[in-house]
């Protein structure tokens, strides 16, 4: 959900200061009420491509109670709802720190999982149309679509509590799948009592569905020249030239949107009793340690767990489709699954003191380095957490690993994708879906979408250059590039 743009002026305000290469600071003097500065992690090209609303939103976030160090915006930053997309902010509950639905997003735990196969492009390319069309049929996509997993509303509450672990108990996941999912596919503290009946009604029949918008299921190819760190790639299961991988991007569907809506309305009504004044109503919030803050965290965790289960069930369906087309010996293995829209309780050092903070990542990815190996799966303890950075459906995607510097610089966060430079409405005016589909086919990419208008919204020209975004994270030292994946087929919501 995005706010309406109030101005279209591009580029940063004159007062922004360059701290060092790819780091820019918005001083507290930019807007009255800022408690900390804002920081933008981007090169000059990306910085100048951001609309002024990004900086206004960053200043608004910097005014929230209990915020630590600075409000941050990653390289893919653009105008969002409340927080800018690419926004990161950490709050100390012991200092009145808040939790805000606008800092999480309405598609709670929208995220991406990367999957490897033991197939080569020579095996898959001749059957790419059959594969993509079958995946489109078997993985429901589009607004309001329902999944093949049939549960009652009461059974669905177990999904909200257990996430991917519910999938394991019910035959939709392996132990490795769960182990290689962020937070083992289950956020603690999830209690369905904090989720409205309306939210449950909207989500209980959507497990295993792709949804709409920028959500996708993409078939990808590894090219030898795009393997930038062969040893780390091998650890991930990416073994060499011609290997076929797959990426799944979706979230918590109607449930998450309703949770966000419910608590935005609730917080707008209770902030006065907590003595909270905000610069933008889209940042409605409550103290993390208050009953209202705890209720939202619980409901958000429920939605996050639904999203984990959703991506896991889709992966289960993908396994079935691949084995049907390519044979029972086909292997489908999870590299990693990362959250994009989430608030998590994490320990970070601020001014030499370790604190437990509620870290909001709105269109941003966690990037834990090896120093946080206790919180990583066994296979990644020495190299850091995989970071999945999807580009547009025309360009390709990057896989990186988190570096320890991210812990010191960005609350262990980095960019989550290419980031839009064009609104959906503008993209539909500029691009024709049918022509786009035809031109992509000529480039060797077969795409099957719900609608041609939807395809037009996702044209490559509507997004920033993924090469620049990935390189910026690398230059900053917060994540290291490992491999680039190029698309050969795509199911679009």
CB burial string 353-381: b at 16+ within 10 A, e below: eebebbbbbbbbbbbbbbebbebbbebbe
Nearest to 401 by CA among 171, 201, 233, 158: 233
Active site residue 416: yes
d(CA 219, CA 121): 10
d(CA 14, CA 72): 18
Tell me the H-state helices in 224-368: 230-236, 253-270, 291-326
In DSSP terms, which residues pair with 359 in a beta bridge? 90, 344
Q: Give CA 484 to chain center in angstroms.
A: 18
> Among residues 257, 316, 360, 416, which one is catalytic?
416
Render 175-234 in DSSP notation, one character per residue. Answer: HHHHHTBGGGG--TT--GGGS-HHHHHHHTT-TT--BSTT-EEEEEEEEEEEES-HHHHH
Half-sphere exposure of 254 (CA within 13 A, CB side): 21
Number of neighbouring beta carbons within 10 Å of residue 451: 14
Q: What angle do CA 282, 186, 477 make, to 5 degrees?
A: 70
Length of the chain: 493
Catalytic residue set: 416
């Amino acid at each position: 959900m995005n706010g309406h743009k109030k101005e279209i002026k591009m580029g940063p305000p004159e007062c922004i200061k360059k701290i060092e290469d790819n780091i820019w600071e918005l001083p507290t003097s930019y807007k009255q009420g800022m408690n900390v500065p804002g920081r933008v992690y981007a090169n000059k090209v990306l910085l100048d491509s951001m609309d002024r609303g990004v900086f206004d939103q960053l200043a608004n976030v910097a005014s929230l109670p209990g915020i630590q160090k600075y409000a941050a915006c990653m390289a893919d930053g653009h105008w969002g709802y409340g927080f800018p997309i690419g926004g990161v902010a950490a709050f100390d509950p012991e200092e009145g720190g808040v939790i805000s639905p606008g800092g999480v997003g309405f598609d709670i735990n929208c995220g991406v999982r990367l999957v490897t196969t033991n197939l080569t492009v020579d095996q898959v390319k001749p059957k790419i149309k059959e594969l993509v069309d079958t995946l489109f049929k078997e993985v429901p996509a589009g607004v309001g679509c329902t999944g093949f997993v049939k549960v009652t509303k009461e059974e669905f509450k177990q999904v909200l509590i257990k996430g991917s672990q519910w999938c394991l108990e019910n035959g939709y996941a392996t132990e490795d799948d769960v182990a290689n999912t962020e937070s083992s596919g289950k956020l603690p503290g999830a209690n369905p009592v904090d989720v409205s009946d309306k939210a449950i009604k909207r989500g209980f029949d959507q497990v295993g569905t792709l949804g709409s918008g920028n959500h996708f299921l993409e078939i990808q190819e590894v090219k030898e020249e795009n393997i930038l760190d062969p040893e780390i790639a091998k650890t991930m299961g990416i073994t060499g030239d011609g290997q076929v991988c797959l990426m799944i991007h979706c979230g918590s569907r109607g449930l998450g949107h309703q949770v966000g809506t419910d608590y935005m309305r609730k917080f707008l009504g209770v902030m006065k009793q907590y003595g909270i004044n905000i610069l933008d109503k889209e940042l409605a919030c409550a103290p993390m340690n208050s009953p209202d803050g705890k209720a939202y965290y619980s409901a958000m965790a429920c939605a996050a767990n639904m999203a984990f289960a959703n991506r896991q069930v889709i992966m289960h369906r993908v396994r079935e489709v691949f084995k049907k087309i390519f044979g029972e010996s086909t292997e489908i293995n999870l590299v990693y699954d990362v959250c994009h829209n989430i608030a998590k309780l994490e320990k970070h050092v601020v001014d030499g003191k370790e604190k437990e903070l509620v870290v909001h990542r709105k269109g941003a990815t966690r990037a834990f380095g090896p120093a946080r190996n206790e919180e990583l799966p066994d296979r990644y303890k020495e190299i850091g957490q995989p970071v999945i950075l999807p580009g547009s459906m025309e360009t390709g995607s990057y896989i990186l690993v988190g570096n320890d510097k991210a812990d010191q610089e960005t609350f262990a966060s980095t960019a989550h994708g290419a980031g839009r430079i064009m609104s959906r409405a503008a993209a539909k005016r500029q691009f024709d879906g049918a022509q786009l589909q035809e031109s992509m086919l000529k480039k060797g990419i077969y795409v099957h979408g719900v609608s041609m208008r939807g395809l037009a919204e996702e044209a490559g020209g509507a997004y920033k250059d993924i090469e620049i975004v990935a390189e910026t994270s690398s230059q900053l030292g917060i994540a290291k590039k490992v491999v680039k994946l190029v698309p050969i087929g795509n199911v679009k919501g």
